[in-house]
Amino acid sequence: MPQKVAVLGTGKIGEALLSGMIRAGWSTADLLITARRPERAEALHARYGVEVVSNIEAAKNADTLILAVKPQDMTTLLEELAPHLPADRLVISAAAGVPTALFEERLPAGTPVVRVMPNTPVLVDEGMSVISGGSHATEEHLLRTEEIFKPVGKTLRVPETQQDAATALSGSGPAYFYFLVEAMTDAGILLGLPRDKAHDLIVQAAIGAAVMLRDSGEHPVKLREAVTSPAGTTISAIRELERHGVRAALIAALEAARDRSRELASGHA
């Protein structure tokens, strides 16, 4: 009997995961989704051909539930699910901040819970999903979780104490790169380039740099040194980045994201 997986809360990350599972070859007959708004449910059903059910039906009929609602909506969802959830269901949470202990407190005793922090590049099978098991999650539950997340990118197991940091670096990470691309495109415009050309140049520089970071095995400092010619253009730019405290700004930004993840722990913030 194949495992049925339900995605509860099909917003940005829930839909990204759903589409990834379908690309990876999951049969739509083995997938269920839930959505709060009927228009959204209809649109998703039309797009993916997956059955839309209530949260309670998902709890009863799926072997694995992926909870992808906002941390602030999680406690309400758990209250709805708890009376209907058989304790052998695997519950995977994609919510930032919310610890596995909160799920264990609110769901039937012994429910296996796995906390995952994915990121939106799962849409192009280049995601990173950071995985931690709760106190009832066995190796089999972690493997089942990896079976879902590996086809849409990489996975990494970490102790749950590292999840808030992983959320700051990896869950939110793509946003920082988009922000930098946007800022550098503006710079290109200031320097007189048309927006579309500036965009293309920066995106290709980002892709080239990312592939070199991944494939060359070189430390980022070495890669940067290779671009930085004596008395050249790059060092003039780097001096300005240092003068404006960009390194310190990034450290402070990620610290703020980590702190916000901790604040979301209660699911109420």
Ligand X SMILES: O=C(O)[C@@H]1CCC=N1
Nearest to 12 by CA among 81, 132, 95: 95
Q: By CB under 6 A, is residue 13 in contact with ligand NAI?
A: yes
Give the strand pairing for 127-133 and 113-117.
antiparallel
Burial of 184 (0-12, 13-18, 19+ CB in 10 A): middle
The radius of gyration of the chain's CA atoms, rounded to the nearest angstrom, is: 21
Q: Which is nearer to ligand X, 50 or 116 (CB)?
A: 116
Q: Which of residues 164-183 bind ligand NAI (CB under 6 A)?
A: 171
One character per residue 39-58, x = contact with ligand NAI (rule: CB under 6 A): ----------------x---
SS3 85: coil
One character per residue 75-104, x = contact with ligand NAI (rule: CB under 6 A): -xx----------------xxx--------
- What contacts 24+ positions apart, CB below 8 Å, involve 201-206? 206/177, 206/181
Q: Which H or E element spans position 8? A: strand 5-8
**Can you tell me which of 62, 171, 185, 265 binds ligand X, judged by CB under 6 A?**
171
Q: Which is nearer to ligand NAI, 34 or 198 (CB)?
A: 34
Q: By CB under 6 A, is residue 121 in contact with ligand NAI?
A: no
Q: By CB under 6 A, is residue 172 in contact with ligand X?
A: yes
Q: Which is nearer to ligand X, 26 or 103 (CB)?
A: 103
Q: Which is nearer to ligand NAI, 12 or 47 (CB)?
A: 12
Sign of CA dihedral 223, 154, 78, 107: negative
Q: Which is nearer to ligand NAI, 153 or 198 (CB)?
A: 153
Length of the chain: 269
CB of 171 to ligand X, least distance (A): 3
Q: By CB under 6 A, is residue 9 in contact with ligand X?
A: no
What is the token pair recorded at 98?
A: 């919310």
Q: By CB under 6 A, is residue 202 in contact with ligand X?
A: no
What is the token pair recorded at 50?
A: 């997956």
Dihedrals phi, psi of 155, to nearest 5 degrees: -130, 155
Q: By CB under 6 A, is residue 163 in contact with ligand X?
A: no
CB of 122 to ligand X, least distance (A): 12
Q: Which is nearer to ligand NAI, 12 or 222 (CB)?
A: 12
Measure Cα distances from 207 to 45, 62, 94, 174, 203 in Å. 34, 39, 27, 13, 6
Give the residues lining the site for ligand X (CB under 6 A): 96, 167, 171-172
Give the residues lining the site for ligand NAI (CB under 6 A): 8-14, 34-37, 55, 68-71, 73, 76-77, 94-96, 117-120, 171
